[in-house]
Amino acid sequence: MSVLQEYESVRSSMGYRKFDAISNYLEEKCPKEVVDKYYEEMNSILDLPFCEFVEKGLELKKKYKIILLNDIIFKEEEFQKFNNWYNKSFKPFEIFACENGYAICLDQDDYIKKSKKSILGNGHDYERVFKDYINSNFNDLKSIIKYDSKNSIFCAYCETLKQAEDVCYELSKLYKDKDKMIELITNKEKYNSIQEIKI
C-alpha cells in the first residue's frame, strides 16, 4: 500500500470531516511562520549523512515543537490531543452517550441572544432551522439524524459516535457564523413562529 493509499484508508475510517480538521489543528498548534523556519533549517542540513540528518531533524522538530500529520495518525498520544481539540471545537454543542446511540444537545443558555435579557426562539425553532440546513446541504447526514427537541433544549440523535461528530462538526460551523444564524433564525417566511423570548 502506498502512502497516499494509506492516508485515504485512514481518512475513510476516521471520516473525511474529522480527517480534514487535522489541518486546522496543525495550523493552530504550529503557526506558518514557525513551520517555515523549521523547513528552512531542515533544507540547510540536507547534505548531512543520513543518520546525522535524521538526528538533527528530530532536534529541529523538538526545537520548533512541530507536529506532523504522521504524528496524529500513528502516535496515540498526539491523536488523543487532536481528538480532545476536535471535541472541544463542537462547543457549545455537547455529545452524550445514551441507550440508543448518541445525543447532540444545545442548551437554552447557548441560544442566540438579542440582548442580555432576551434570546431568539426555543428548541423547536432551532430544530427547524438546523434540520432545514442539514437537509439542504448534506445528503450524507440528513438520513442519520432523529430530532427530539424541547422548548429549553435542541436535541438530536445518531446511532454512532462518528455520525454524531459529523453532525456536530457541521452544526457548530454554522452556529459560530453568528450573522448567518441570525439570518436563518429570523427568516419569518420559513420560520414564522420564531420570536424574541425574555429571560
Task: Report how far residue 46's alpha carbon sits from residue 37's, in angstroms, rounded to the nearest whole number.
Answer: 15
Residue closest to 71 by CA, chosen among 39, 26, 31: 26
| Higher-pLDDT residue of 29, 117 | 29
Q: Looking at residues 62-83, what average pLDDT do you find?
A: 95
Q: Looking at residues 47-63, what average pLDDT do you find?
A: 95
Give yes or no for residue 187 having a pLDDT over 90: no
Residue 38 near residue 64 (C-beta atoms within 8 A): yes
pLDDT at 198: 47
pLDDT, mean over the chain = 87
Residue 160 near residue 98 (C-beta atoms within 8 A): no
Task: Report how far residue 186's alpha carbon sits from residue 189's, in angstroms, rounded to the nearest whole number.
Answer: 9
Question: What confidence tier does 199 reach under pLDDT thresholds 50, 70, 90?
Answer: very low
**Model confidence, pTM:** 0.79
pLDDT at 87: 92
Question: Which residue in this structure is represented by grid cell 429571560?
Answer: 199
pLDDT at 196: 52
Question: What confidence tier does 120 reach under pLDDT thresholds 50, 70, 90?
Answer: low
Half-sphere exposure of 48 (CA within 13 A, CB side): 14
Angle in degrees, CA 47, 49, 52, rounded to 5: 110
Question: What confidence tier does 6 reach under pLDDT thresholds 50, 70, 90?
Answer: confident
Q: What is the pLDDT of residues 88-115, one digit of tens each?
A: 999 999 999 998 899 999 987 887 665 5
Residue 53 near residue 46 (C-beta atoms within 8 A): yes
DSSP code string of 87-126: HHTTTT-EEEEETTEEEEEEEGGGSPEEETTEEE--HHHH
